[in-house]
Amino acid sequence: GNSVTQMEGPVTLSEEAFLTINCTYTATGYPSLFWYVQYPGEGLQLLLKATKADDKGSNKGFEATYRKETTSFHLEKGSVQVSDSAVYFCALMGNTGGFKTIFGAGTRLFVKA
């Protein structure tokens, strides 16, 4: 079945550091890929998405490129802020199995001032 694997956290960075959170997936067919962010005490919010190979999703300085050859969708940001501290989830929605969205385990990011 479909699955998503993302790097374990927590990840601790200083403000203005470069961020990478790795995400790889296993899926049949051509899934859509997503990054969601969860701030403390809140639900998940869509951060960005990509629907086909080589698509780049971007939002709020975050980027991720859909790499079919490496089955990856790594999240990057050039300069993190304290306000980026949250839990980040990589996810996929496939075209099989009832179109379920499958989430990775989440990666907690702490950004220090």
Q: What does the buried/exposed string (b/e) look like for 46-82 if buried means 16 or more CB atoms within 10 Å of the residue's CB?
A: ebbbbeeeeeebeeeebbbbbbeeebbbbbebeebee
Q: Does 89 bind other proteins (CB under 8 A)?
A: yes
| Among 14-22, 61-69, 71-79, 104-112, the segment contacting other proteins (CB under 8 A) | 104-112
Q: Does 67 bind other proteins (CB under 8 A)?
A: no
Structure tokens at 41: 């005490």
Q: Which member of 73, 94, 109, 111 binds other proteins (CB under 8 A)?
A: 94
Structure tokens at 98: 């009832």
- Residue 56 bridge partners (DSSP): 65
Q: Does 38 bind other proteins (CB under 8 A)?
A: yes
Binding site for other proteins (CB under 8 A): 31-32, 34, 36, 38, 41-46, 49, 51, 87, 89, 93-95, 98-103, 105-106, 108
